[in-house]
Amino acid sequence: MSQSTERLQKYLARAGIGSRRKCEDLIRSGRVTVNGKVAIIGQSVKESEDRIHLDGERVTGAERLVYIVMNKPPKVLCSLKGQGGHSTVIDLIDVRERVYPVGRLDLESQGLILLTNDGDLANHLSHPRYGHEKEYRVLLNRLPDPHQLKAWRSGVLLATGEKTLPARVFTERNSQNQAWVRVTMRQGLKRQIRKTAQGLGLFVIKLIRVRIGPLKLAGLGLGEWRFLSRNEVNDLKKSVRV
């Protein structure tokens, strides 16, 4: 148990509540109390002395930091709570620690997702300014022509008014009607690859995330998960300078 003081949002993240940004939102919304009083951003707490509650439930520090990699199947949500009859990535794992998914894959997409209760790592992996690489295999309805590939690599203005950053894009293989492309990028706009393809007159049939920074998907079947090795955790932290 920690005997030193720390910022409340960091304590909540360490306790597995969510990323530090998520914990800051919870504090701002008035859902967190310290010793019976509504908490404020930047407040310092000491676990051995202060009573910290979220929505009336006592929050205690995480017993251990847990790092899990999963091959998310399609039709499974990257969230803590299910909706619309869909299960979540949390439903697929069996650990006593309260972990949460880092980043997102939309409902139809599959592949690598990281789950952890390490708030510092989650914050670094989620925040746009750290710009870690993510790699995807994407099945398109047809082979992109040279002009479409050039535009994708340079950046595309989406219908939402957002401009995508340059990305590495190349064709892996193609048939008469479909093509697999490999996309590597540092940006993470919502449904970015699908919207980019649509803006170029293409359609995504299947989307698989195969890498986040140094962490690779290899070896896991759909719905399977495993704990990260110590070396994998260290490499992941080094990649985002935690």
Most confident of 32-41, 44-53, 232-241: 32-41
Residue 45: φ, ψ to 5°: -135, 160
Active-site residue list: 106
pTM here is 0.77
60-72 mean pLDDT: 86
- Is-contact 74 107, C-beta < 8 A? yes
Q: Where are the domains of the chain?
A: 6-58, 67-129+218-239, 133-212
What per-residue confidence (pLDDT) applies to 6? 87
Segment 35-43 shows an average pLDDT of 93
Q: Give pLDDT tens digits for 79-123.
A: 887 777 889 999 999 888 888 898 789 999 999 999 998 888 888
Condensed to tens digits (0 to 9), the pLDDT of residues 179-189 reads 999 999 998 88
User: With the C-alpha atoms ordered 115, 119, 122, 127, is the resulting torsion angle positive or negative?
Assistant: positive
Q: Closest Cα partner for 104 from 205, 225, 207?
A: 207
Is residue 147 scored above 90 in pLDDT? yes
Q: Looking at the domain covering 6-58, what would its CATH class be?
A: alpha beta
Q: Does 3.30.70.580 match the CATH number of domain 67-129+218-239?
A: yes
The CATH class that applies to domain 133-212 reads: alpha beta
67-129+218-239 and 133-212 have identical folds:
yes
Neighbours of 150 (CB within 10 A): 11
pLDDT band at 1 (very low <50, low <70, confident <90, very high): very low
Rounded Cα distance, 47 and 219, in Å: 40
> Where residue 229 falls among pLDDT bands split at 50, 70, 90?
very high
